[in-house]
Chains A and B, each alone.
Chain A
Amino acid sequence: MIEVKDLHKSFGEVRAVNGVSFAARDGEITGLLGPNGAGKTTTLRMLYTLMTPDAGQVLVDGHDATADPSAVRRRLGVLPDARGLYKRLTASENIDYFGRLHGMPEALLRDRREALIDALEMRDIATRRTEGFSQGQRVKTAIARALVHDPRNVLLDEPTNGLDVMATRAMRHFMRQLRDEGRCVLFSSHIMQEVAALCDRIVVIAHGRVVADETPDALLAQTGEPTLEDAFVKIIGTDEGLAA
């Protein structure tokens, strides 16, 4: 369960996030939709404690991100915008490194790593060094290392960015699997189809503010538009920066 209350963050003159509030519940996929530059990545960075909000509060399973960042980080699995892997380590070693940083015992780490390698269908690349990995292979490795400590809450920043059709399908399948395990899944995207296909709940962000926070059906009913795409355009007021 992730609760965000009235977040603000400015970089100099630029108000990147200007009063964002929403909640992402366990057992649901929540989509953070917005055009490029709407403040999605900054919001997520405050969620996973990389940045401190100027004002507002982030609660993860009831833990305050500013007061107790370590507790929050332990409860989060994060695929950040930056997905750098260690190219001189194998995929498995990359995963192990993060598991050890979480202080996992070696036996548990091994079981969990092997389970993730199977779930993400990356057995063939597990013992290869990550140098020269394709975009899809890199994302799989980055997700596996983000989830190795079995977090209740999963944050994914543009998880399908740069993936081909097959990899995107696999990724969506995996996200549904995470939801069905009862986890709270929050991801950001600027691709409407993706949000429409996956989300139980959609939070639309534009110009640093939440402009809608509904289920897909409610969103259609509220705007009176026939498709989600039209509904988004109507809410945001423009289709700039969005992709179908």
Chain B
Amino acid sequence: MKAFSAVYWKEVRENLRDRRTLINALITGPLLGPVMFIMLMNVMVNRELAKTDRPLSVPVIGAELAPNLIAAMKSASIDPAPAIDDPEIAVREQRTDVVVRISPDYAKAWVKGQAVQVELIFDSSRRDASAPVARVRSLVEGYGRREGAMRLIARGLSPTTAWPVQVAYRDQATSQSRSALMFSFLPYFFVLTVFLGGMYLAIDLTAGERERQSLEPLFVNPVPRWQILAGKLGAICTSSLVSLLLSMAAFATAPWFIPTEKIGIALDLGWRFASQVVLLMLPLIVLLAALQSLVSAFAKSYREAQTYLSILMIVPVLPSALLSVVAIRAEPWMYAVPLLGQNLGIVQLLRGDGMAGWQIGLCLGGGLVAAVVAVWGTALMYRSERLAISG
């Protein structure tokens, strides 16, 4: 215990004096997530807003042929802009999102009661144009349906003859679950924060110490190596825990910067959410500290360790990436898989569903087992003769 606290406090004191470690643990790590989150959310919210009320200016070719359609567009705040000569090229060169082209024989066909063509020229590979395109399309289709209904009524038929099936939408999403869909990448930020918060310390305490040739004198002291390792892991865990706590505090302020109420989603990142996230992350903190130390122990220099660890950093992305691309139904065993379990749990908390006791238990248990294995592996690595020899 005495050796543990000697190592722990020495590492804490030494690294409090290192600007690079401090900046990473206290500023870059904790703030990277919230800042990126707020920026991404603002982009997404603005795009959601663009789908609805904002006036949209759309070039229309042959506007004079269909005054009623134009009037319908105007009433849905889609402003017809003057015609342009080269609509296909303009769309491809991103000068405009969508162009409406009314066929020259529109007026003639309309009078005869025949089908007429209205072309929408757009580029489906441009995601940012999809909202305006969808708005114009639904307007034109709605206009067509309305006019069709009028014609049927004029002939004494019920409009339902032509549309026997009606689709009715009953969306069960709550405002919180809607937001969870958008925040499915949030858990990764927490993992990243923990990773970055401990990374520089882990490198410095193993590969760095080896590179500076201080590991050999250290191991000559009459202290079992696992105790030295324990002190070092304690210091790394402290650093990543502080990072996580700072990050959670920064995230709690995120709703102030995101106009969530405008698109009808709720975001609850208060202390209740924060404390549950920290609880779920505890085993990961130990697991990552051990893994980082283990990987650094293989490296001969600080730089080499940095390279290895940036590769290791990709691993925690996988569950988040998987969950945001593939919709997986959460099976009970998934909660016991480290990283995946935390991901599922945090998204669940964001949805406002809360977590059942057994889910939290599996999450902590699975993480703890993985952490113990990682610590044990690192302890074995620490016992090797090779580790202490710097040359």
Contact = CB atoms under 8 A, between A and B. Distances in A.
B10 A89 contact: yes
A93 B13 CA distance: 10
A76 to B, nearest CB: 7
Given A100-B2, A101-B7, A142 B217 contact: yes
24 contacts: A45-B389, A50-B216, A73-B220, A73-B221, A73-B222, A80-B217, A81-B391, A82-B215, A82-B390, A83-B213, A84-B213, A84-B214, A84-B216, A85-B212, A93-B10, A100-B2, A100-B10, A101-B3, A101-B218, A101-B222, A102-B221, A102-B222, A103-B3, A146-B220
A110 B220 CA distance: 21
Contacts of A78: 217, 220
Nearest to B10: A97
A240 to B, nearest CB: 21
Interface string B219-246: 1111110000000000000000000000
Interface residues on B, range: 20 to 34
B289 interface: no
Contacts of B220: 48-50, 73, 76, 78, 80, 146
Contacts of B171: none
A51 B220 CA distance: 11
Interface size class of A (residues with CB under 8 A): 20 to 34
Contacts of A88: 14-15, 17-18
Interface of B: 2-3, 6-7, 10, 13-15, 17-18, 209, 212-224, 385, 388-391
Interface of A: 45, 48-52, 69-71, 73-74, 76, 78, 80-89, 93, 97-98, 100-103, 142, 145-146
B214 A86 contact: yes
B205 to A, nearest CB: 11
Given A101-B3, A101-B7, A52 B217 contact: no
A142 B13 CA distance: 20
Given A51-B385, A52-B385, A88-B17, A97 B6 contact: yes
B13 A50 contact: no
A101 B9 CA distance: 12
Given A82-B391, A89-B10, 14 more contacts: A51-B385, A70-B222, A82-B214, A82-B215, A82-B216, A84-B209, A84-B214, A88-B15, A89-B13, A89-B14, A100-B3, A102-B221, A103-B3, A145-B217
